[in-house]
Amino acid sequence: MPAFLIFSVFYIYPFFYTLFLSFFKGDAISYLEFVGFNNFKEILLYDKAWWRSMYNAGFITFWALTFQNILAFLLALGVDKAVRTQKFYRVVFFLLPILSEIIIGLLMRIFLLSDPGVLNHLLERLHLDFLKRDWLAPQSALLSCALVHCWKGFGWAFVIILAGLQSIPEELYEAARVDGANAFQSFLKITLPLMIPVFTLVVILTILGTMQAFAMILALTRGTGGLTEVPVMRIYNHLRTGQTCYACSEGVVLGLILVIVAFGMLKFSKFARQKYGL
């Protein structure tokens, strides 16, 4: 009962209130006008900036799904075998995700800006001058956001994947060795299939987390004239300018998209597990 009450007050009520407001126009302080599905129509059919922000978030998510998670998987594979230093690595890699997004954004801004140009200076010292550029310029700002996001976020995936790797019974590998399987075959036939549920979880969490990323990007680029604007940044800006109901509608649309993606991933995972007979 207390759990239900807490859940109702902090989750169910805000959810339904947001949904309720999304059918209105106004600031929800003194002005509300029922507009039906107009806000949704506006977002889905006419708001090009919304879809641009979805593209930006999708781009960052793509990098997080590939670069970030592959890096996390490779590191987890390495650390899984390093029995003595495992705890140390776990702490080190998990430090970044627990740091404030705003702090990371501001620090990385100083690091990436052409003035003072910390990164460019480093590249120069390493004789990698061809890589020097304005990292927050329109052409590279979105990629910079994606890379910083991956750098900050790979610790989460690392910890989850490492836990998954450690839950695979050692006996399976021993049996495979007895049967003459080499390391690559063991990896392909044991590790990968048994990690499918873990990968599904990591993929879902990555998509949900990245599509909702906002604070770090705000501190890093302020949206770069729409080039690095992400959906939650738009919602935040609309809330600030008194377009509360429109912001609620954007929140509902984003939520629905994420729910659909998450369910799609779960279905895919179920299908993959059935295929491997897990």
Partner 1 sequence: MIKRVIIIVFLFLFGCSAPKKEISSKKIIIWHWMTDRQGAFEELANKYKDLTGIEVEFKLFFPPDIYSQKVIAAARAGTLPDIFGVLGEKKMFASFIKAGYILNLAPFIKDWQERFIQQTLQVNTFKKGNIYGVEPGIYGIPIDSMNIQFLYNKRLFKKAGLNPNRPPKDFKEFIKYAKILKEKLRVNGFVCGWGEVWLIYCLVTEFAINIMGKDKFFDTLRGKVPYTDPEWIKVFSLFKEMRDAQILAPNIVTMINKEAEESFALGKAGFSFNGSWCINVYKKLNPDLEYGVFPLPAVSDKKGVKIWGGAGSSFVVNANSKNKTEAIKFLKWLTEPEQQKFLMEKTLNLPAVKIPLEEVSPILKEFLDDTGNLTHPNVWPLQEDSRVVEVINRGVQQIIMGLKTPEQVALEVQKAKERVLLTKRSQ
Contact footprint for partner 1 (CB under 8 A): 1-2, 5-6, 9, 25, 27, 29-31, 33, 35, 38, 42, 46, 49, 109, 113-115, 134, 136-138, 141, 220-227, 237, 240-243
Shortest approach of partner 1 to residue 226 CB, angstroms?
Answer: 5
DSSP SS3 for 81: helix
Shortest approach of partner 1 to residue 107 CB, angstroms?
Answer: 14
Shortest approach of partner 1 to residue 109 CB, angstroms?
Answer: 8
Nearest CB to partner 1, comparing residues 69 and 228: 228
Shortest approach of partner 1 to residue 1 CB, angstroms?
Answer: 5
Nearest CB to partner 1, comparing residues 105 and 164: 105
Q: What angle do CA 246, 264, 149 make, to 5 degrees?
A: 65
Nearest CB to partner 1, comparing residues 240 and 270: 240
DSSP for residue 44 = I
Query: Measured between alpha carbons, how far is 134 from 113 in angstroms, rounded to an integer?
Result: 7
Shortest approach of partner 1 to residue 195 CB, angstroms?
Answer: 39
The alpha helices in 85-195, defined as continuous H runs, are 86-98, 101-112, 118-125, 141-166, 170-178, 183-186, 192-194
Nearest CB to partner 1, comparing residues 223 and 231: 223
With left for phi above 0 and alpha for psi between -120 and 50, is residue 142 left, alpha or beta?
Answer: alpha
Nearest CB to partner 1, comparing residues 105 and 153: 105
Contact 216, 149 (CB under 8 A): yes
Contact 185, 175 (CB under 8 A): no
Nearest CB to partner 1, comparing residues 27 and 80: 27
Shortest approach of partner 1 to residue 4 CB, angstroms?
Answer: 11
Can you tell me which residue has the tokens 């899984």? Answer: 80
C-alpha dist (Å) from residue 124 to 121, 129, 201, 218: 5, 5, 40, 28
Shortest approach of partner 1 to residue 160 CB, angstroms?
Answer: 32
List strand residue ranges (DSSP E) for the chain, in order.
Answer: 24-26, 32-34
Instruction: Supply 46's token pair.
Output: 């006419």
Nearest CB to partner 1, comparing residues 43 and 162: 43
Q: Which amino acid is at 166?
A: Q
